[in-house]
Amino acid sequence: MNYDLIVFDWDGTLLDSAGAIARAIQASCRDLGLAVPSDTRARHVIGLGLEAALRYAAPDLPLERTPEMVERYRFHYLSGDHELALFDGIPALLDDLKSAGHILAVATGKSRLGLNRAFGHSGLAALFQASRCADECHSKPHPQMLEELMAAFGVPPARTLMIGDTSHDLLMATNAGVASLAVTYGAHPQEHLLEHHPLACLDTVAELDSWLKCNA
């Protein structure tokens, strides 16, 4: 086994939610009378903590209106998050990794409340031994989430692997001295992911599963 600890991003890596997040950001901007960001700009912020994401997506947002924007985003996203689905093959992939003896964890831009809600909808909570959220740690790409997870299990960076769909995930891995894998079926395009030199850039869950079986 090359990696004892395998850490997954959530949105866009395990859950097919990138489009829903972008639409919720755009709807929130409309509610507040702000310029509506393009799909590309709205998707770019996925993986960041919510306030940082909204400030990037809506640069004209007055600081004092940030709580209002957060409320509108949560309204739009939570109204439909129960309908979001895991990418095909994810439950079996995770079950195989856990059965093989890997420690599985999540590092996400979601809040703790948001991740717990997602765990409940997905039924995946039992497969993960730990998780870190953006309201508990510095937002990605700061390495704190990975550093805390490695410390919790006594696993060094050389035995840890980060898997994500955004440049924020990959840069967090770099900042923590951890190897990374990129998936292209989430939020960020392949050319942005390749800039951060992941071990591989994989287009489907089936490719991810095959790579992990051969290399993890």
The closest of 25, 74, 80 to 54, measured between CA atoms, is 25
Q: Are 37 and 60 in contact (CB under 8 A)?
A: no
Written as one letter, the residue type at 188 is H
Position 49 pLDDT exceeds 90: no
Confidence at 39, pLDDT banded by 50, 70, 90 = very high
pLDDT at 165: 95
Architecture label for domain 5-16+85-215: 3-Layer(aba) Sandwich (3.40)
Where exactly does CATH 1.10.150 map onto the chain?
18-82
Query: Which residues, 6+ apart, have CB-to-CB distance to 81 below 8 Å?
Result: 17, 20, 117, 118, 121
- Average pLDDT rounded to a whole number, residues 138-156: 97
What mean pLDDT comes out for the span 50-67?
92
Catalytic residue among 11, 81, 165, 169: 11
Residue 11 annotated as catalytic? yes
Q: Per-residue pLDDT averaged across 23-44, rounded? A: 94
Nearest-5° Cα angle at 127, 122 to 133: 70
Please give the mean pLDDT across all residues of the chain: 95
Instruction: Catalytic residue, from 4, 9, 81, 209: name it.
Output: 9
pLDDT, one tens digit per residue, over 168-210 is: 999 999 999 999 999 999 989 999 999 999 999 999 999 999 9
| Distance of alpha carbon 163 from alpha carbon 149, whole angstroms | 14
Contact indicator for 54, 73 with CB cutoff of 8 Å: yes
Is 209 a known active-site residue?
no
Q: Has this prediction a pTM greater than 0.95?
A: no
Give the helix/strand (H/E) hosting 209: helix 205-215
Residues of the chain with CATH 3.40.50.1000: 5-16+85-215
Per-residue model confidence (pLDDT) at position 31: 96
Contact 164, 47 (CB under 8 A): yes
Cα separation, 193 vs 216, whole angstroms: 20
What is 18-82's CATH number? 1.10.150
